[in-house]
Amino acid sequence: MKRRSFLAAGSLAGVGLAINKANVFGQRMELIPEKIKAKKLKPGDLVAVISPATAVSDTDDIAKAIEILEYLQLKPKLSKTLLKGSGYKSRSVQERLDDLHQAFADESIKAVMPIRGGYGSAQLLDKINYDLIKKNPKVFVGYSDITAMHIAIYQNTGLVTFHGPVLLSQFNSYTMDIYKKALFGTESIGELKNPESNSIRDAYPIRIIRTGKAEGEIVGGNLSLICSLMGTPFELKFKNKILFIEDVGEEPYRIDRMLTQLRLSGKLNEAKGIIVGKCADCIQKSAISTWDYGLAEVLDMNLSDLGIPVVYGFMLGHTAEQMTIPMGVYSELDVENEKLIIKEPALVE
């Protein structure tokens, strides 16, 4: 698509469906609703492009997002307020909420894809119409700040969503291969491993913190977002789950603070296994040393004595090579063999 023509992709304006403002959150439910799954994507499907967190107003960025959808033979439908304003200032909560609701209400739309993360998704959580989403299951995929929405949607509706690239992600061949397998099929994704390295020093090293195997439903996302939801009706349920966490640009002392919070809350002890994604740029940056430990030491101190399998280094977050992981499906973590096996199909015909 020529960049001058991206506006012809359309918008989500004028869906014309009244949105019931009631929602179902707030009960601190111990049980997640019965699991529901969206239909797999197929060429020609219409995809809503939304920005529930940080705004994206650069037309070149919109063109990059549409380029990915066209490569996948999907048709973009831009949300009503996607191009409103300028710079990266988030639009109002109501505007972002309306875009989300309109995307799920429109029966012609088969997937809802954030163009980027950034900041602000959590502001929507107590206002989302979860009944609407539950009645209109669609593929929903993103990561980073979108973690807040994954947790809230899955735990309040049972809808399996996908922790994976946003539309402005890099999408190299490794990332795209997993992405297509996850979103366009009804078979389980199967085995996920880091890419093969062709250098003398492994470019994608895995470090075993505690060996073993674990099976259970897999949940997780960005560590900062998970911690920010603690003590709210949306805090992530860890019990009997395989937990995956990731972050970027956080100094080791901040990682320690977040893991300490989860440890003191008793949450870490509830998990059956833990995957820590490769943490890019998680090094000390302060001119004055605030904390003498490095990232590896912080992870060992907080995770090695939990009595469960723990591994560091999977490519599942802010990395050029990125796995797509369906939230809430049955999986197996095999630390010794450095692989995650997604055993349950995440989509239906």
101 is catalytic: no
Distance CA 133, CA 8 (A): 27
- Are 207 and 275 in contact by the 8 Å Cβ rule? The answer is no
Distance CA 72, CA 69 (A): 5
> Residues near 214 by Cβ (< 8 Å), separated by ≥ 6?
242, 272, 273, 308, 309, 332, 333
Distance CA 231, CA 28 (A): 10
- Are 224 and 250 in contact by the 8 Å Cβ rule? The answer is yes
11 is catalytic: no
- Are 71 and 43 in contact by the 8 Å Cβ rule? The answer is no
Q: Two tokens at 200?
A: 């003398």
Q: Which of 101, 188, 318, 331 is catalytic?
A: 318
Q: Two tokens at 263?
A: 């440890």
Distance CA 304, CA 281 (A): 22
SS percent in the chain: helix, strand, coil, step 5: 30, 20, 50
246 is catalytic: yes
Q: Which of 11, 51, 144, 224 is catalytic?
A: 144
Q: Which of 95, 246, 250, 251 is catalytic?
A: 246
| Partners of 39 in the β-ladder | 348
- Locus of tokens 């946003």: 166
Q: Which active-site residues does the annotation give?
A: 144, 246, 318
